[in-house]
Amino acid sequence: MSIAFQGERGAYSEIAAEKFFNCNIKFIPCKDLEDVFKIVEASYVDYGIIPVENSIEGSVTRSYDLMRESNLKITGEIVIRISHCLISYHDYEIKDIKKVYSHPQALGQCKNFIRKQKLATYPTYDTAGSVKMLSRRRIKYAAAIASNKAAEIYGLKILAEGIEDDKNNYTRFLIISRNMIKPIGKVKTSIVFTVKHVPGSLYKALKVFASRGINLTKIESRPVIGRPWEYYFYLDFEGSIENNIVKNALKELSKKTTYIKVLGSYKQSSNHYTSNYL
């Protein structure tokens, strides 16, 4: 099985994929999220895994845009607890560090620690990629924020563990593939739609779920480019598109929207996994 993810080996997306599939995996690291979608679409890999939201920093908006633009389907989800480490060279201690490199989301999740240590921040494209960068060239007084797996892979030293501001720090990841699945068990469905820019249009759209007792678990809005102050609405709800109640709700919703797309039905994540590699 082959899986594409954004970042370098040791990234949290890789850890999430290992926990979701629990089998031997050939990982294909990608520079950015666009590349993950491209190589899954081109059948170079079986699946992709993408982050969509964090309990501290909120949504990964680019992931939402790409899901709408792509023909790939969501086939699974996993939520893991993110435990960040401060990682640097073996001859450094915390007192020696003056600047820190990491993905903007990770920097945001550790801002209290960063402020307390009075560190200058340098955003990069990936958490594990920051550790890889330090391993390849010496940067004075520098450290990275990433997983303990990244420290192990690139042979650097963990100066501090659990530096995130809130221990209830979770990230939700989605599994994407070329084909829709028919999930069993507790199922969640994700859709995206637009409505007319008139009073009550969103209320009427959401009412089709409330009137049928369908529980909404997430709503997210993204701007419609070229149409200022109009939005795509991304919705997650409990239930499968194979369910007759859900089918009827979507049929009615199609009459109240100007655009609708089903992103996938998939088994709902029932566990929160720690990101610790040990």
Confirm whether 278 is domain-assigned: no
Confirm whether 216 is domain-assigned: yes
- What is the span of the domain harbouring residue 262? 187-267
Same domain, 44 and 174: yes
Q: Which CATH number characterizes residue 9's domain?
A: 3.40.190.10
Same domain, 71 and 95: no
Residue holding tokens 């890789």? 14
Please state, in angstroms and rounded to a whole number, the distance separating the CA atoms of residues 234 and 96.
45
Same domain, 72 and 104: no
| pLDDT at residue number 49 | 98
Supply the residues annotated as catalytic.
Answer: 171, 173
Number of domains the chain is built from: 3
Same domain, 96 and 121: yes
| pLDDT at residue number 271 | 60
Same domain, 140 and 153: yes
Confirm whether 274 is domain-assigned: no
Please state, in angstroms and rounded to a whole number, the distance separating the CA atoms of residues 77 and 241.
16
E strands present in 227-278: 231-238, 259-267, 272-274
| pLDDT at residue number 276 | 42
Q: Put the strands of the sheet holding 187-194 in their side by side order.
A: 216-223, 231-238, 187-194, 259-267
Q: What is the pLDDT along the chain (278 residues), one digit of tens a residue?
A: 999 999 999 999 999 999 999 888 999 999 999 999 999 999 999 999 999 999 988 899 999 999 999 999 999 999 999 999 999 999 999 999 999 999 999 999 999 999 999 999 999 999 999 999 999 999 999 999 999 999 999 999 999 999 999 989 999 999 999 998 888 889 999 999 999 989 999 999 999 999 999 999 999 999 999 999 899 999 999 999 999 999 999 999 999 999 999 999 999 987 654 444 32
Any idea what the Cα angle at residue 250 is, between residues 171 and 219, rounded to 5°? 30
| pLDDT at residue number 278 | 29
Amino acid found at 165: D
Q: List the alpha helices (DSSP H) in the chain.
A: 12-21, 33-41, 61-69, 104-109, 111-117, 127-136, 148-154, 201-210, 244-256
Same domain, 191 and 173: no
Which of 122, 151, 179 is a domain's end point?
179
| pLDDT at residue number 56 | 87
